[in-house]
Amino acid sequence: MKRKTTALLLALVLGASAVSCGNSGKAEGNTIKIAYLPITHSLAVLKEAEDLEAQTGMKVELVKYGSWTELLDALNTNRVDGASVLIELAMKSKQEGIGIKAVALGHRDGNVVVVSNDINSAVDMKGKTFAIPHRQSSHHILLNDALATAGLKIDDVNITELAPTEMPSALASGQIDGYCVAEPFGAMGVSLGVGKVLYNSEELWEDSICCGLVLTDKFIAERPEDAKNFVSSYKAAGNSLTQEEAKKVAAKYLSQSEEVLDISLKWISYNDLDITEDTYNKLVDKVKEYGLSDNPPTYTEFVKNDF
The pLDDT, as a whole number, for residue 8 is 37
Which architecture characterizes domain 33-109+208-302 according to CATH?
3-Layer(aba) Sandwich (3.40)
Tell me how far apart the alpha carbons of residues 52 and 68 are, in angstroms, rounded to a whole number: 25
The pLDDT, as a whole number, for residue 196 is 98
Tell me how far apart the alpha carbons of residues 177 and 115 are, in angstroms, rounded to a whole number: 6
The pLDDT, as a whole number, for residue 152 is 98
Tell me how far apart the alpha carbons of residues 240 and 76 are, in angstroms, rounded to a whole number: 30
The pLDDT, as a whole number, for residue 53 is 80
The pLDDT, as a whole number, for residue 146 is 98
CB contact set of 250 (below 8 Å; sequence gap of 6+): 40, 43, 184, 256, 261, 264, 265
Segment-wise mean pLDDT, segments of 10 residues, the chain, 307 residues? 38 35 43 95 90 83 94 97 97 97 95 97 98 97 98 97 95 98 96 97 95 97 94 92 90 91 93 96 98 97 92
> Which amino acid is present at 225?
E
Question: pTM score, two decimals?
Answer: 0.87
Tell me how far apart the alpha carbons of residues 81 and 95 are, in angstroms, rounded to a whole number: 19
Q: Residue length, the chain?
A: 307
Going from N- to C-terminal start, the domains of the chain cover 33-109+208-302, 112-204
The pLDDT, as a whole number, for residue 14 is 35
The domain 112-204: what is its CATH number?
A: 3.40.190.10
Q: Which of 274, 250, 257 has its CA nearest to residue 40?
A: 250
CB of 190 within 8 A of CB of 259? no
Tell me how far apart the alpha carbons of residues 245 and 262 are, in angstroms, rounded to a whole number: 12
As a 3-state breakdown, the chain gives helix, strand, coil percent values, each rounded to 5, of 50, 20, 30
